[in-house]
Structure formats: structure tokens, C-alpha cells
Amino acid sequence: MARPSLIPPAILALMREGQRHAWTLEQVSADLAARAVQANFSSVFRAVERLVGERQLRKVQLPTGAARYELSGAHHDHLHCSGCDALTPVPCLAANLDLAALEQSTGYAMTDHDIVLEGVCPRCRQHAVS
Amino acid sequence: MARPSLIPPAILALMREGQRHAWTLEQVSADLAARAVQANFSSVFRAVERLVGERQLRKVQLPTGAARYELSGAHHDHLHCSGCDALTPVPCLAANLDLAALEQSTGYAMTDHDIVLEGVCPRCRQHAVS
DNA sequence: CTGGATGCAAATGTTTTGCAGCATG
DNA sequence: CATGCTGCAAAACATTTGCATCCAG
């Protein structure tokens, strides 16, 4: 190994202490910069990809098509606010699904899931004309 | 209204008779061409968007970030094969989730969902070294 | 030295928009 | 003729890659 990478650990640190629950690449990049960690966008991209590969991060696809990254930790699912784009973690929803039955009926071998339900968060409900 | 649009109805027809369950924009475009329906990609895009707006079509986000379109019809969810990119419809999974309880605990107003579970389809399981 | 890490620029792939032209009601 | 559909081209966007360079082991 040559030239040990500073970026991946910095990303993990940032996320562990972070205010956010999930980050876009853009946000990871910005937060690194805010911590004076020099990192080109490509490097951030590659670091995040690697971390996802190592299962230290999880990539979450929003219904909008945009992706977010979060610490792996305990598996959970998400609610996505169509108003403000917030992503709120909720306990794993697949626990309530009978995956075994699904595998039976479809022949699929389930490997993963990433359930994102669409809704309007409390704040946006308030601001909406009621 | 001027110049009634041929494209949206052609898309609906194509999907009603189609072999496929869900289409990428690219595929819609190709299938239109195969039926000798002249349509620029932009026009296909706009037509599909309109149909989604009118709730005649549904847009499904795959875990890969790619989008697919399908006829609205009865709501259902999907299994996505990570091997061959197939999208298999399954009965609505959210039926098994206690959405009311979720709304209670999170304050969200749930508006929609689009559950895509990741797995390996029967065919790909076969072809995999076992 | 060497191999991985990095920055920069540019390719990619897809979705989206501006605009001028055109065909119908 | 006005309206909104259409094609074409190009913008916008986010993601991804090529390549030359750099550096700690």
C-alpha cells in the first residue's frame, strides 16, 4: 500500500458526528471542505464507492432518482418527504413482510431491500395550507 | 386544442399489448419506432411525463437509479433482479405494513410508496455457479 | 522503486429545456 | 390563426473514467 488515504476515514468521521442522517455526494464533498479536508469531487466519489463496497456505507435511492449515502449501522428503512426532500429513518419495515413466502411464490432469492415510503413530513404539513 | 397528440395513446396501446411489464424511456421509444410511430425522444419523454401526471402511468425508480414506466392499473410492488435487471410485479407489499402506526410515530402523512426489493430471479439463480 | 491515492479534465448517460415550425380545431 | 404538439439541438445534471502525477512504504 502506498499513500494511505485520508478521505475515507474523514468521511466516516464526518458522518458519525454529523447532523445529517444521509448525505448526497455533494453534501459529503461540502462537509469535507468545511472540515478543511482537501478532496476533489472524484476522490470523494471514489472513496464513497469504496466504503459502500466495504459495506461501511449504504447507498439509498430516493424516489426522485437521487442517491444518498449513510452509515451502515443497524438496518432501517426510510420515509422521504416530497415537500422538503428530508429522509427520515424508521425501523426496518421488511421485518413485517413475509419474505420467505415471497421467495416461494416468485422463485427469487431476496438479497436486499431499501424501502422508501413517500409522504409529507410534519413540518411541511404545517406549512401547507390546511 | 390544436394538433391532437398521437404519441400518448400509442404509448398506452403499446403497453397494454406489450410483452414487457415496465419500460425505460429508451424502450418506449424503440417500441414506438417498431410500430412505425414517428416520435422524437423528447416527444416520448414529454408524453410519458404527461401520462404520469395524469396518473395513467406510474414511474418506478429502480435501486440502480434507473427509472421505468408502467401502466397504472392495480397497485403492486416489485422485485428487481440484480443479475438481469428484470422487474417482477408482486402484490402490494405495503398492505402488510401498519402505515397508520408509522404516521402516528413519525408525524408524516404517507402519500405513496414504491417498494422494490432486490434479489436474484430464478433464471439467474440457475445460471449462477451453485 | 512501486502501487495505490489523488486531481483535473473530460466522457458518459440520462433527463430536461429552449425555440422555431407546423398542423389542426 | 391561435394553441399546443413536434423535432432538433443543446443545456443541465449527476455519475463515472482516463490519465499523469504524487507519495508513503
pLDDT in tens, A97-115: 999 999 999 999 999 888 9
The residue whose CA lies nearest the C1' of nucleotide D13 is A66
Among A75, A78, A108, most B C-beta atoms within 10 A, so best to mutate, is A108
Read off the pLDDT band of B10 (50, 70, 90). very high
Distance CA A88, CA A81 (A): 8
* B130 pLDDT higher than 70: no
> 58-77 in B: which are within 8 Å (CB) of A?
61-65, 67
Read off the pLDDT band of B2 (50, 70, 90). confident
Contact A69, A58 (CB under 8 A): yes
What is the SS3 string spanning A21-81? CCECHHHHHHHHHHCCCCCCHHHHHHHHHHHHHCCCEEEEECCCCCEEEEECCCCEEEEEE
Which of A29, A42, A1, A21 shows the shortest CA–CA distance to A10? A29
* A1 pLDDT higher than 70: no
The predicted pLDDT at position A87 comes to: 94
Read off the pLDDT band of B45 (50, 70, 90). very high
- Give the SS3 label for residue B92: coil
Read off the pLDDT band of B105 (50, 70, 90). very high
**B64, B111, B115 member nearest A115 (Cβ):** B115
Distance from CA of B84 to the nearest CA of A (A): 12
C-alpha cell belonging to residue B86 = 428484470
Closest chain A residue to the Cα of B114, Cα to Cα: A117
> Chain A contacts of B98, Cβ < 8 Å?
96
Is the C-beta atom of B42 closer than 7 angstroms to strand C?
Answer: yes
Between B1 and A19, where is the model more confident? A19
Read off the pLDDT band of B56 (50, 70, 90). very high
The predicted pLDDT at position B129 comes to: 61
Q: Using one digit for the tens of pLDDT, what is the confidence trace for A54-91?
A: 999 999 999 998 999 999 988 999 999 998 899 999 99
> Chain A contacts of B117, Cβ < 8 Å?
94, 99, 102, 108, 110, 112-113
**B79, B112, B115 member nearest A108 (Cβ):** B79
Report the percent of chain B where pLDDT is more than 70.
96
Computed over every residue of chain B, the mean pLDDT equals 91
pTM of the entire predicted model: 0.89
DSSP state of A101: H
